[in-house]
Chains A and B, each alone.
Chain A
Amino acid sequence: MVLATAALPVVEVASFGLAKGAVFALLALGLVLIYRTTGVTNFAHWGIGLSGIVIYFLLTSKAHTPTPLAAIISIVACAAIGAISYRLVFRYVKRTNQLVLILIALGVAQFFAALTAWGFGFEPTTIVKPWLPVSNIKVGTAEVQSTQVIAAVVAVVISLLFMAWFRYARTGRALRAVAQNREAASLAGIDEHRYSMIAWAIGSALAGLALLLIIPHTSGQSGGVITTGDTTPFGTFLIPAFGAALVGGLVNLPLAVVGGFIFGLAQEMLILAPSPWGGLRSTIAAILIVILLLMHMERFFVARAELEALEA
C-alpha cells in the first residue's frame, strides 16, 4: 500500500513513547515497592515526585545551582520527603483498614498538590531548565531527541539495578521479608518500620528521578513547562503509572517496568493510528486498566499469604 504513513514520524513518536514509558516504569517501580512493603496505594506518588521538581526549580532558578547537582539534590530530597511521609503519617495507620489507608493517601496527595503549587509561585506556567545534554540524534532519516534516549536507557538500567538489589542485597532481602510476612520478619530481628521507611525513601527517589528525566526536557533546549494542570493531586502520569504497576498486579517488579513501556508506547503510538482509532489515545489507559483490574494479575505473582496480608 502506498499510503502517507511513510511520511509519519514513526521513529520520533516511538522515541517519545519510550521516554514516557521509562517514566511510567520508574513511577510504577516505586508504587509497587511501597505497596508491597507497606500496603499503601500511594496516590501521593506524583505529588512527591513533583516536589522534587519544585526543589530542582528553586535551586536552579533562585540559587543558581548547576543543573546536574540540583537534580541530584532534588532526588535525595525526594527520598527524604518519602521517608518523612512514612514516619509522620503512614506509620500510624494500620494497614488492615484499606478505606482509611486510601483516604489518608488522598489527603497526602492533596497536601503535595498544594505544596507544589505554592513552590512554583502560582504561575500559570513555569519553565524548568534542562539538566541532561540536549541534542538531536540521527536515526536513519529521523531525528530523535537525546534526552528521550537517555531517559529510556536510564530507566532500564536503574530498574535492573534496583531489581538485582531487591533480590540479592541484604536490605532488599529484608524488604522482601517485610513484604511477605511482617510478623516473621520482625521475629527475625528486622525492624519493620525502619525498612518501611527505606522502601518509602527509595520509591520516592525513583519518582523524583522519573519526573526529572522527562519534565525538564519536554521542549528540548528551552527546558520544560509546568502548568497549573500539573500541580494537581494526580497530575497526568499517575493513572498510567498505576496501570503499569497493575500489569504486575501491583506486586511484580519486572512486569511493572514492562507495563510502563507498554503504556507509554500505547499512548503515543496511537497518534499514528488512522482516524477512528486515533481517538482511542485518551482512553487506552482506562481500557487497559479495567482489563488488568478484572484479570486480578496479582494472583499469579505472590503467595496467597502475602496477598491476604495486603488485602485484609
Chain B
Amino acid sequence: MTAVTAAETAIAEPDAGVRARGVSLGRLRISRSRAIAGAVLLGLGFIPVVVPHHDFWMYIGAYIAVWAMLELSIVVVTGFAGMISLMPFTFVGIGCFASGVAVSVWGWPFWLAVPFAAAATVPVSIAVGAASVRLKGLYLAIATLTFGNALGETLFKWNAFTGGQQGHTIVRPKLGVLSFRGDFSFYVLAMLVALLLVWMVHGLKASRVGRAMLSVRDNEREAQALGINAIKTKLTALVIGGAIAGVGGAFYLALLRTAAPAGFQSPYVEISSVLLVVWAVIGGIDSAFGAFLGATALIVQQQVYQGVGERLGAWLGLYAAAILVVFLITRPGGLVQVVKIQRERIHSDRIRGGIETFVILAINVVIVYLILHFGK
C-alpha cells in the first residue's frame, strides 16, 4: 500500500520530496522548475514566429490557450480549495453567452464583454456557494453535478440569454489598428491572456488568500482553529474560479466565433465538465502550469486522433480514464509531478535518468502510434 500512502501525501503536499533549488533574479526568486516551465510557455508563445503561419496550427494553439484558461478555474476551485465542482463547464457557458449577449445584442466591444462575462458568473457562483459551501466531498460533487444539470435545463434554454438554438455569433475583436480576426493574431492574444491568468493563479497560490485555501483543503478544522474563515475562503475560491471560467468562456466564443446552447445542456455539459476535471488532474490539479500541460495534452491528442474520426471520443475517453486512474494512484501531482520527478532523476544520475525519461517519452509515442494505427 506504499503507492497509496505516497499518493495521499503528494495530494496534500505536492512539493514534498522535491528540493527547492532556485535561481535568484534580484528580488524575484524563481525556482528552477518554474523557470523551465516559464521558458516552455514562452516558447509556446513564439511557435508562430518559427513555424510557418499555418492557420490550422494557429487554431490549435489558440484552442490550447483557451482550454488552459478553462482548466485554471478548476485549479483554483478543486486544486487550491479542495472542492470538487462538477459544473465548471456551466460557468464557461455563462461567460460564453454573457459575452455573446453583450457583443451581438447590445453591441458592446469585446474588451468590455470579457469583464462583463467574468462579472456575470459571480451571482451564480455565490448562489451555488450559498447552497453548497457547507457540503463536503461527495455531497458537494453531487450538488454541483445537479446544479449544472438544472442550469442547463433553465438558464441555457432561456432564449434571450442563449440567442435561441443558433446561439450567438460574434466577430473576433480589434484593438485600434491591431486586428485579432485571423487565427494567428487570435492565437497570440489568447496565449497572452492565458499566460496572464497562469501568472495570476500562480501568484494567488502564494498569496494570503491562496494559502488560506490550501489550508482549508488540507484540514478544515485546523484552518478554522488558526482563525481562517473556511466558508468565506471557499466562497472566494468559487467566485475566482467562476470568473476565470467566465473569461475563458468569452474567449471560447471568440475562438469558435459561434456557440450554440446545446453544448451547455445535459448531458453534453456533464461530458465537458468531466473532461475538464479529468484533464486538470492529469495536468496537475494544484498547479497553474499543470492546467497548461493538461490542456495541451488534451487538445494535442484531440487533433492527433482527429484522423480516427468518430472513435476519437471513445479512444480519448478510454485513454484519459486509464491515465487518470494510474496517475491518481501513482502520480497524483499529475504531469507537473512527472516532469519534476524526471528532472530530479536526470539531475542525480544523468545516464539512468536520461534513459528513463527517454523510455517514458518513447512509450507515449508508441501509444499514439498504436492508437492511430489500430484505432481505425
- The answer on A and B forming one complex is yes
A293 to B138, CA, bound (A): 10
A125 at the interface (CB under 8 A from B): no
Interfacial residues of chain B within 1-20, with CB under 8 A of chain A in the complex? 1, 3-5, 7-8, 11
Residue of B nearest to A281 (CB): B153
The answer to whether B4 touches A290 (Cβ under 8 A) is: no
A101 to B7, CA, bound (A): 12
The answer to whether A235 touches B143 (Cβ under 8 A) is: no
A102 to B277, CA, bound (A): 11
B201 at the interface (CB under 8 A from A): no
A282 at the interface (CB under 8 A from B): yes
Residue of A nearest to B325 (CB): A107
B247 to chain A, nearest CB (A): 25
Q: Which of A94, A104, A239, A242 contacts B325 (CB 8 A)?
A: A104
The answer to whether A111 touches B8 (Cβ under 8 A) is: no
The answer to whether B314 touches A99 (Cβ under 8 A) is: no
A92-B3, A242-B142 as given contacts; A232 in contact with B318, CB under 8 Å: no
A234 to B8, CA, bound (A): 27
Query: Could you say which of B131, B134, B145, B320 has the most chain A C-beta atoms within 10 Å of its C-beta?
Result: B145
Per-residue contact bits, chain A 148-177, to B (CB 8 Å; 1 contact, 0 not): 000000000000000000000000000000
A118 at the interface (CB under 8 A from B): yes
A111 to B319, CA, bound (A): 8
Interface residue total, chain B, C-beta cutoff 8 A: 55
A104 to chain B, nearest CB (A): 5
The answer to whether B137 touches A293 (Cβ under 8 A) is: no
For the residues of B in contact with A, the DSSP-based class is helix
The answer to whether B145 touches A104 (Cβ under 8 A) is: no
Query: Could you say which of B5, B134, B278 has the most chain A C-beta atoms within 10 Å of its C-beta?
Result: B278
Q: Which of B3, B136, B150 contacts A282 (CB 8 A)?
A: B150
B267 at the interface (CB under 8 A from A): yes
Q: Which of A89, A94, A117, A286 contacts B4 (CB 8 A)?
A: A94
The answer to whether B4 touches A41 (Cβ under 8 A) is: no
Q: Which residues of B contact A242 (CB under 8 A)?
A: 142, 145-146
A275 at the interface (CB under 8 A from B): no
A246 to B313, CA, bound (A): 32
The answer to whether A246 touches B332 (Cβ under 8 A) is: no
A92-B329, A93-B329 as given contacts; A99 in contact with B137, CB under 8 Å: yes
A110 to chain B, nearest CB (A): 5
The answer to whether A286 touches B149 (Cβ under 8 A) is: yes
Q: Which residues of B contact A239 (CB under 8 A)?
A: 142, 145-146, 149
Q: Which of B1, B311, B328 contacts A104 (CB 8 A)?
A: B328
B154 at the interface (CB under 8 A from A): yes
Q: Which residues of A contact B86 (CB under 8 A)?
A: 106
The answer to whether B271 touches A41 (Cβ under 8 A) is: no
A290 to B150, CA, bound (A): 11
Q: Which of B1, B138, B142 contacts A98 (CB 8 A)?
A: B138
The answer to whether A233 touches B271 (Cβ under 8 A) is: yes
Per-residue contact bits, chain B 232-271, to A (CB 8 Å; 1 contact, 0 not): 0000000000000000000000000000000000111011
Interfacial residues of chain B within 73-118, with CB under 8 A of chain A in the complex? 78, 82, 84, 86
Per-residue contact bits, chain B 136-164, to A (CB 8 Å; 1 contact, 0 not): 11110111011101100110000000000
Q: Which of A106, A234, A283 contacts B278 (CB 8 A)?
A: A106
Interface residue total, chain A, C-beta cutoff 8 A: 49
Q: Which residues of B contact A287 (CB under 8 A)?
A: 150
Q: Which residues of B contact A243 (CB under 8 A)?
A: 146
Per-residue contact bits, chain B 313-349, to A (CB 8 Å; 1 contact, 0 not): 1111110111011001100100000000000000000
Residue of B nearest to A124 (CB): B310
For the residues of A in contact with B, the DSSP-based class is helix
Q: Which residues of B contact A311 (CB under 8 A)?
A: 136-137
A290 to B127, CA, bound (A): 12
Q: Which residues of A contact B357 (CB under 8 A)?
A: none
B132 at the interface (CB under 8 A from A): yes
Q: Which residues of A contact B5 (CB under 8 A)?
A: 94
The answer to whether B315 touches A235 (Cβ under 8 A) is: no
The answer to whether B318 touches A115 (Cβ under 8 A) is: yes
A94-B4, A94-B8 as given contacts; A285 in contact with B146, CB under 8 Å: yes
Q: Which residues of A contact B135 (CB under 8 A)?
A: 293-294
The answer to whether A113 touches B4 (Cβ under 8 A) is: no
Interfacial residues of chain A within 179-237, with CB under 8 A of chain B in the complex? 229-230, 232-236
The answer to whether A111 touches B146 (Cβ under 8 A) is: no
Q: Which residues of A contact B314 (CB under 8 A)?
A: 114-115, 117-118, 122
A289 at the interface (CB under 8 A from B): yes
The answer to whether B315 touches A114 (Cβ under 8 A) is: yes
The answer to whether A293 touches B150 (Cβ under 8 A) is: no
Q: Which residues of B contact A94 (CB under 8 A)?
A: 1, 4-5, 8
A250 to B141, CA, bound (A): 14
* A→B interface (CB under 8 Å): 41, 43, 89, 92-94, 96-104, 106-111, 113-115, 117-118, 122, 229-230, 232-236, 239, 242-243, 246, 250, 282-283, 285-287, 289-290, 293-294, 311
Give 9 A-B contacts (CB < 8 Å), ordered by A residue. A93-B4, A102-B84, A111-B321, A114-B321, A229-B267, A233-B274, A234-B267, A283-B153, A286-B150
* B→A interface (CB under 8 Å): 1, 3-5, 7-8, 11, 78, 82, 84, 86, 131-132, 134-139, 141-143, 145-147, 149-150, 153-154, 266-268, 270-271, 274-275, 277-278, 281, 310-311, 313-318, 320-322, 324-325, 328-329, 332
Top 5 A-B pairs ranked by shortest CB distance?
A114-B317, A111-B321, A286-B150, A107-B324, A282-B153
